[in-house]
């Protein structure tokens, strides 16, 4: 047995939900009657999505977390996933730690590994995740209506702050760096909140590239515009004293790698949104509203319209 075959065994676990798991040509899943299968694929590449020296346990967590976050954004309950892993060397210590981080998150969400592929090559992780959602109840990007409130879960911008510090662009106090780095390297997929928002949110997505850029997808697919009030978003990042206010605003509005949910709901449903947040133990903050006219307006500290546009993650450091 080759070493890659040994490593493959780290990822072979018995399945409880799937009809058939790892070890045949295909895995077999049987969604319950009336359920639709929600499916998402994300590929993580060394140097682009993570640093070469990242803790493999955290990388295992993140690789699944970003996929679970897509299920959360659809309001789906996680069921299973496949893992395709390309490794430069058959490094059992690395692979074992990666598997530990991956499987701990998988078990926390009762999401089982049902298949995959392990090969030699530049470090690359591709996960495809499967969830189930009652037919017709998936949260989509296309449902926002003029007048809806806009919300985000949790906090925004810490991951970007950590990234900037790790790249040497700014200095953070050690405790702040450790805390923000945890957010960058072990994001929390908002799985319970997504399911609690079924029937309440009119649209939703998860924030991977930055709030304003990602919100743009909801606006485009719903054919609407939006107004975001930075007096409300400023509460989303309180990373401690000594940091430039404008930098914090950039990280909040366009930081990326947050894996929080952004969603819209009719103002008549504010109590239900609060109840969903409480039931899933996930803080949510109302940050603006959907408008009929296309475009994204930003309000400043005095309620004035800000002319500056905040670009998405890709262009932040350009």
- Sites for a second copy among residues 15-34 (CB under 8 A): 19-20, 23-31, 33
Per-position x/- string for 130-159, each x denoting binding to a second copy as judged by CB under 8 A, each - no binding: xx-x-x--x-xxx-----------------
Shortest Å distance, C-beta 203 to a second copy: 10
Q: Which of 70, 148, 149, 158 binds a second copy (CB under 8 A)?
A: 70
Q: Which is nearer to a second copy, 74 or 237 (CB)?
A: 74
128 near a second copy, rule: CB under 8 A:
yes
Q: How many CB atoms lie within 10 A of CB 25?
A: 6
Q: Which is nearer to a second copy, 193 or 239 (CB)?
A: 193
Is there a binding annotation on residue 203? no
Q: How far apart are CA 57 and CA 275, in angstroms?
A: 34
Q: b/e for 231-244, b at 16 or more Cβ within 10 A? A: eebeebbebeeebe
C-alpha to C-alpha distances, 152 to 105, 164, 231, 283, 289, nearest whole angstrom? 23, 23, 14, 9, 12
Q: Return the range that interacts with a second copy (CB under 8 A); candidates 70-78, 104-112, 157-165, 224-232.
A: 70-78
Per-position x/- string for 208-227, each x denoting binding to a second copy as judged by CB under 8 A, each - no binding: -------------x------
Q: Is the dihedral of CA 42, 45, 46, 49 positive or negative?
A: negative
Is there a binding annotation on residue 2? no
Write 278-281 long-range contacts (CB < 8 A, 24+). 279/192, 279/196, 280/190, 280/192, 280/193, 280/195, 280/196, 281/192
Angle between helices 158-166 and 174-185 (to 10 degrees): 110
Residue among 235, 140, 233, 153 at smallest CA distance from 187: 153
Instruction: Answer yes or no: are the C-beta atoms of 96 and 47 closer than 8 Å.
Output: no
C-alpha to C-alpha distances, 167 to 160, 171, 174, 257, nearest whole angstrom? 10, 10, 15, 15
179 near a second copy, rule: CB under 8 A:
no
DSSP 236: G
Q: Which of 6, 12, 45, 107 binds a second copy (CB under 8 A)?
A: 45
Q: How far apart are CA 218 and CA 81, in angstroms?
A: 26
Is there a binding annotation on residue 55? no
Give the dihedral of Cα atoms 190, 185, 220, 310; nearest 10 deg.
Answer: 130
Q: Which of 112, 206, 229, 260 binds a second copy (CB under 8 A)?
A: 206
178 near a second copy, rule: CB under 8 A:
no
99 near a second copy, rule: CB under 8 A:
no
Shortest Å distance, C-beta 196 to a second copy: 16
Q: Which is nearer to a second copy, 88 or 240 (CB)?
A: 88
Shortest Å distance, C-beta 176 to a second copy: 29
Is there a binding annotation on residue 25? yes
Could you list the beta-strand ranges (E) of 50-105.
Answer: 77-87
Task: Give the annotated binding-site residues for ATP.
Answer: 116-117, 141, 208
Task: Give the annotated binding-site residues.
Answer: 25, 40-42, 49, 70, 116-117, 141, 206, 208-209, 257, 313
Q: Which residues bind a second copy (CB under 8 A)?
A: 2, 19-20, 23-31, 33, 36-43, 45-49, 70-71, 73-74, 76, 82-86, 114-117, 119-122, 124, 126, 128, 130-131, 133, 135, 138, 140-142, 204-206, 221, 314
């Amino acid at each position: 047995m080759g070493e890659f075959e040994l490593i493959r065994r780290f990822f072979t676990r018995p399945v409880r939900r799937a009809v058939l798991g790892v070890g045949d040509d295909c895995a077999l899943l049987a969604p319950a009657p009336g359920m639709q299968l929600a499916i998402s694929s994300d590929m993580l590449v060394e140097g682009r999505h993570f640093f070469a020296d990242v803790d493999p346990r955290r990388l295992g967590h993140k690789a699944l977390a970003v996929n679970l976050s897509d299920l959360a954004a659809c309001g789906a309950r996680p069921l299973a996933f496949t893992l395709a892993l390309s490794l430069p060397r058959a490094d059992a210590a690395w692979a074992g730690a990666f598997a530990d981080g991956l499987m701990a998150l998988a078990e926390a969400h009762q999401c089982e590994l049902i298949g995959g592929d392990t090969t030699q090559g530049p470090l690359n992780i591709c996960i495809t995740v499967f969830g189930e959602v009652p037919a017709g109840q998936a949260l989509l990007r296309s449902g926002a209506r003029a007048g809806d409130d806009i919300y985000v879960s949790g906090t925004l911008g810490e991951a970007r702050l950590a990234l900037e510090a790790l790249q040497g662009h700014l200095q953070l106090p050690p405790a702040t760096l450790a805390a923000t780095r945890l957010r960058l390297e072990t994001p929390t997929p908002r799985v319970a909140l997504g399911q609690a928002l079924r029937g309440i949110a009119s649209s939703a997505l998860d924030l991977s590239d930055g709030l304003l850029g990602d919100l743009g997808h909801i606006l485009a697919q719903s054919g609407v515009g939006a107004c975001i009030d930075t007096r409300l978003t400023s509460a989303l990042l309180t990373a401690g004293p000594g940091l430039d206010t404008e930098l914090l605003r950039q990280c909040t509005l366009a930081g990326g790698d947050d894996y929080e949910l952004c969603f819209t709901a009719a103002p008549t449903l504010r109590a239900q949104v609060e109840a969903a947040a409480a039931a899933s133990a996930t803080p949510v903050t109302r940050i603006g509203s959907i408008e009929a006219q296309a475009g994204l307006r930003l309000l400043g500290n005095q309620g004035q319209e800000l002319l500056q546009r905040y670009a998405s993650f890709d262009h932040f450091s350009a």
